[in-house]
Chains A and B, each alone.
Chain A
Amino acid sequence: DVKVTQSSRYLVKRTGEKVFLECVQDMDHENMFWYRQDPGLGLRLIYFSYDVKMKEKGDIPEGYSVSREKKERFSLILESASTNQTSMYLCASSLVGRSSGANVLTFGAGSRLTVL
């Protein structure tokens, strides 16, 4: 089974701190995604990446950046954390192509970030 590992389940940071959320997948998936999940708003796409060193903005990229230096790793960076970035962050990966597994997202367990 594909495994997507998010390095931290719970983080508490202070306003203005730089925050790194790490995500690693072990099945050679081309696509990787970062979502945030908030009550009443569902999942909103922050950034995604189709390949190493490539990134695309999602629906809510403001205040975030990403890095994909290796195929298996996709990092989400909050340059200067703010209280409105308190949320659950979910990383996911998927295959490309036309196989039955293409476009099926495999999610990590999530990282719950609290910004004080």
Chain B
Amino acid sequence: GDSVTQMEGPVTLSEEAFLTINCTYTATGYPSLFWYVQYPGEGLQLLLKATKADDKGSNKGFEATYRKETTSFHLEKGSVQVSDSAVYFCALTHSGNTPLVFGKGTRLSVIA
């Protein structure tokens, strides 16, 4: 079945550092790919998405590009802030009513 693998955390960075969180997937066809973020004490919220190969999703300074050839959707941000401290989840789904499949999450801590 479909699966998502993300780098294990926790990841600790200093403010203004460059962030990469790796995400690779196993799935048939062309799934839609997502990054969700969970801030402390809250539920998950959509950060960005891409629905076809070579699409780039972006939001709040974060970016991820749908790479079909490497089955990857790595999350990047050029300069992280303390307020970016959260747990980040990579996920995929096929069109229609197929539920999302999530990775295990990566905890990011940004220190001033």
Shortest CB distance B46–A (Å) = 5
Residues of the A chain whose Cβ atoms lie less than 8 Å from the Cβ of B96 = 96
With A105-B44, A107-B44, A109-B43 as contacts: A43 and B89 at CB distance below 8 Å: yes
Contact of A42 among B43, B49, B93, B105 (CB under 8 A): B105
Provide the A70-114 mask, 1 if CB < 8 A to any CB of B, else 0: 000000000000000000001010001010001111111110000
CA A9 to CA B103, docked complex, whole Å: 24
- Confirm or deny: A31 has a beta carbon within 8 angstroms of a beta carbon on chain B: yes
CA A58 to CA B98, docked complex, whole Å: 11
Interface residue count on the B side (C-beta < 8 Å)? 21
Structural contact, A104 and B44, CB atoms closer than 8 A: no
Provide the B26-50 mask, 1 if CB < 8 A to any CB of A, else 0: 0000001010100001111110010
Shortest CB distance A65–B (Å) = 18
- Confirm or deny: A52 has a beta carbon within 8 angstroms of a beta carbon on chain B: no
User: Residue on A with the closest CB to B31?
Assistant: A103
Structural contact, B89 and A42, CB atoms closer than 8 A: yes
Number of A-B contacts (CB under 8 A): 49
Structural contact, B104 and A105, CB atoms closer than 8 A: no
Shortest CB distance A35–B (Å) = 8
CA A116 to CA B44, docked complex, whole Å: 27
Contact of B43 among A31, A40, A107 (CB under 8 A): A107
| Contact residues, B90-110 vs A (CB, 8 A) | 93, 95-97, 99-100, 102-105
CA A43 to CA B44, docked complex, whole Å: 10
Residues of the A chain whose Cβ atoms lie less than 8 Å from the Cβ of B46 = 104-106
| Contact residues, B47-91 vs A (CB, 8 A) | 49, 89
* 10 new A-B contacts at CB < 8 Å, known A58-B99, A105-B36: A42-B103, A42-B104, A42-B105, A43-B44, A43-B105, A48-B99, A92-B44, A98-B95, A103-B95, A103-B100
